[in-house]
């Protein structure tokens, strides 16, 4: 097995998943201001370090995605943040795209940027301790979207990114996110997500990416947030599995879902059902941002010095997600 495959398995095996703590400063400022905490580098570090030094890191978190600011910060114990993460057995990762910008030629859509100078930035991140990376492409859904232009250009960027990342000894997370915004049905989400993922793999193969050394980070198959055709969680799980079975090559070792705006328990329950019904060889785990941090940040904001209390909230959420990644979660466990 290749080194890259070993890193991917280390991140996702035994009920472990990924903590996506790579919010850009702009996004993190929104999250902090929503709970009335000032967004300073110190406060951003304090919240993140609180999570990274919690007990559940050892059992539930196989990898942490960092933002450029955080990977260069030092923890209160003087360890660098990547050292702190590694000391609990998790792998440090880094978001390397520079954001989604308006797609020329289709101004309602976005193309993710960050390829210029990427090889040089990857050298730096590797030296800082990163062993995996993230790049997110975003796609909107309507009767005309995502356009072929958006599907092709984002797939091309994801493939160029992945091949550079592997060249530098790191595992690329390939994240094509079909957004939940809109009134589309789950069936529309299924069709569009399948088309998007298939095109990504076509480009990854074209760019000679080793598929055993990537992690796919897709959305689950859900109706749009404004759709009046809601579906049961069992159906979400079945449609998600159908989509992935039909569009992901079997060499891919693991799939780590984004939460994409789902509530914490909803994201946990859906992942649990996916694992209950999982008849593939893919590991199905989580790479959650909001669905791991929402309750913790709310609690923390009331007293930012209450490290222990915040860690208890985070530990619970991480434990629930880890059980869901093994199909062992149930609603009663939420109250314990
Ligand atoms: P959410 O789980 O909040 O969607 O964040 C995951 C992520 O990393 C998005 O790029």
What lines the ligand 1 site, CB under 6 Å?
20, 136, 175, 258-260, 288-291
Please, which pLDDT band fits residue 304 given cuts at 50, 70 and 90?
A: very high
Residue from 17, 27, 255, 260 to probe ligand 1 pocket by mutation (most atoms less than 8 Å from CB): 260
Separation of CA 17 and ligand 1 centre (Å):
13
In this structure, what are the phi and psi dihedrals at residue 105, rounded to the nearest 5 degrees?
A: 100, -15
Residue from 63, 136, 288, 296 to probe ligand 1 pocket by mutation (most atoms less than 8 Å from CB): 288
Prediction pTM value: 0.98
**Is the confidence at residue 124, as pLDDT, over 70?**
yes
Contact in structure between 72 and 25 (CB atoms under 8 Å) = no
Nearest protein CA to atom 10 of ligand 1, as residue: 136
**Is the confidence at residue 136, as pLDDT, over 70?**
yes
Residue 1: its pLDDT value, please? 62
- Calpha distance 107→129 (Å, rounded): 37
Find all residues with CB under 8 Å of 301, minimum gap 6, and list them: 32, 35, 36, 37
Residue 146: its pLDDT value, please? 98
H or E element, residue 17: strand 17-20
Over residues 291-309, mean pLDDT: 98
Q: Does the annotation mark 217 as catalytic?
A: yes
Contact in structure between 288 and 321 (CB atoms under 8 Å) = yes
**Is the confidence at residue 309, as pLDDT, over 70?**
yes
Residue 2: its pLDDT value, please? 86
Task: Tell me the per-residue pLDDT of 12-25, one tens digit each, with 9 for 90 and over.
Answer: 999 999 999 999 99
Contact in structure between 139 and 146 (CB atoms under 8 Å) = yes
Identify the structural domains of the chain with CATH numbers, from first to last.
3-335 (3.20.20.70)
Separation of CA 217 and ligand 1 centre (Å):
9
Over residues 241-267, mean pLDDT: 98
Nearest protein CA to atom 1 of ligand 1, as residue: 289
Find all residues with CB under 8 Å of 134, minimum gap 6, and list them: 20, 22, 65, 93, 94, 95, 96, 97, 172, 173, 175, 217
For β-strands 106-112 and 61-66, DSSP reports them as unpaired
- Calpha distance 109→95 (Å, rounded): 21
Over residues 280-294, mean pLDDT: 98
Separation of CA 294 and ligand 1 centre (Å):
12
The active-site residue, picked from 175, 177, 264, 269, is 175
- Calpha distance 15→327 (Å, rounded): 9
Average pLDDT, the chain: 98
Separation of CA 41 and ligand 1 centre (Å):
21
The active-site residue, picked from 110, 217, 264, 269, is 217
- Calpha distance 37→22 (Å, rounded): 18
**Is the confidence at residue 134, as pLDDT, over 70?**
yes
As a whole number of angstroms, the longest Cα–Cα distance in the chain is 53
Three-state SS letters, 265-297: HHHHHHHHHHHHHCCCCCEEEEEECHHHHHHHH
Separation of CA 267 and ligand 1 centre (Å):
12
Percent of the chain with pLDDT over 90: 99
- Calpha distance 22→221 (Å, rounded): 23
Find all residues with CB under 8 Å of 25, minimum gap 6, and list them: 39, 44, 67, 69
Residue 145: its pLDDT value, please? 98
**Which among 162, 117, 167, 105 is positioned nearest to 137, based on CA atoms?**
162
Nearest protein CA to atom 8 of ligand 1, as residue: 20
Task: Tell me the per-residue pLDDT of 28-86, one tens digit each, with 9 for 90 and over.
Answer: 999 999 999 999 999 999 999 999 999 999 999 999 999 999 999 999 999 999 999 99
- Calpha distance 258→28 (Å, rounded): 17
**Is the confidence at residue 197, as pLDDT, over 80?**
yes
Separation of CA 289 and ligand 1 centre (Å):
4
Dihedral sign for Cα atoms in the order 202, 247, 188, 135 = negative
Q: How many Cβ atoms are within 10 Å of 1's Cβ, its own excluded?
A: 10
Residue from 290, 293, 294, 324 to probe ligand 1 pocket by mutation (most atoms less than 8 Å from CB): 290
């Amino acid at each position: 097995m290749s080194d890259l495959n070993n890193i991917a398995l280390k991140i996702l095996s035994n009920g472990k998943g990924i903590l996506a703590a790579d919010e850009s400063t702009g996004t993190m400022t929104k999250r902090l201001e929503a709970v009335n905490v000032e967004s300073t580098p110190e406060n951003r570090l304090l919240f993140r370090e609180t999570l990274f030094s919690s007990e559940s890191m050892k059992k539930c978190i196989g990898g942490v995605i960092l933002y450029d600011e955080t990977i260069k910060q030092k923890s209160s114990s003087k360890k660098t943040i990547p050292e702190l993460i590694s000391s609990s057995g998790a792998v440090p990762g880094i978001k390397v795209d520079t954001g989604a910008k308006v797609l020329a030629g289709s101004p309602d859509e976005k193309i993710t940027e960050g390829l210029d100078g990427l090889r040089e930035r990857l050298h730096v991140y590797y030296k800082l301790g990163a062993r995996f990376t993230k790049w997110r492409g975003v796609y909107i859904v309507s009767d005309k979207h995502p356009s072929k232009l958006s599907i092709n250009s984002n797939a091309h960027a994801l493939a160029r990114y992945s091949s550079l990342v592997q060249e530098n000894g790191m595992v690329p997370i390939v994240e094509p996110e079909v957004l939940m915004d809109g009134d589309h049905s789950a069936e529309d989400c299924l069709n569009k997500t399948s088309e998007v993922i298939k095109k990504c793999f076509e480009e990854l193969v074209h760019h000679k990416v080793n598929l055993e050394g990537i992690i796919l980070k897709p959305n689950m198959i859900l109706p749009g947030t404004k759709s009046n055709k809601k579906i049961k969680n069992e159906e979400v799980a079945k449609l998600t599995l159908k989509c992935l079975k039909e569009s992901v090559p079997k060499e891919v070792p693991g799939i780590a879902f984004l939460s994409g705006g789902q509530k914490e328990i909803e994201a946990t329950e859906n992942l649990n059902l996916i694992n209950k019904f999982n008849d593939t060889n893919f590991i199905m785990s989580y790479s959650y941002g909001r669905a791991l941090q929402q309750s913790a940040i709310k609690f923390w904001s009331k007293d930012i010095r209450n490290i222990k209390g915040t860690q208890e909230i985070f530990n619970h959420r991480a434990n629930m997600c880890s059980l869901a990644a093994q199909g062992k979660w149930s609603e009663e466990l939420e109250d314990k």
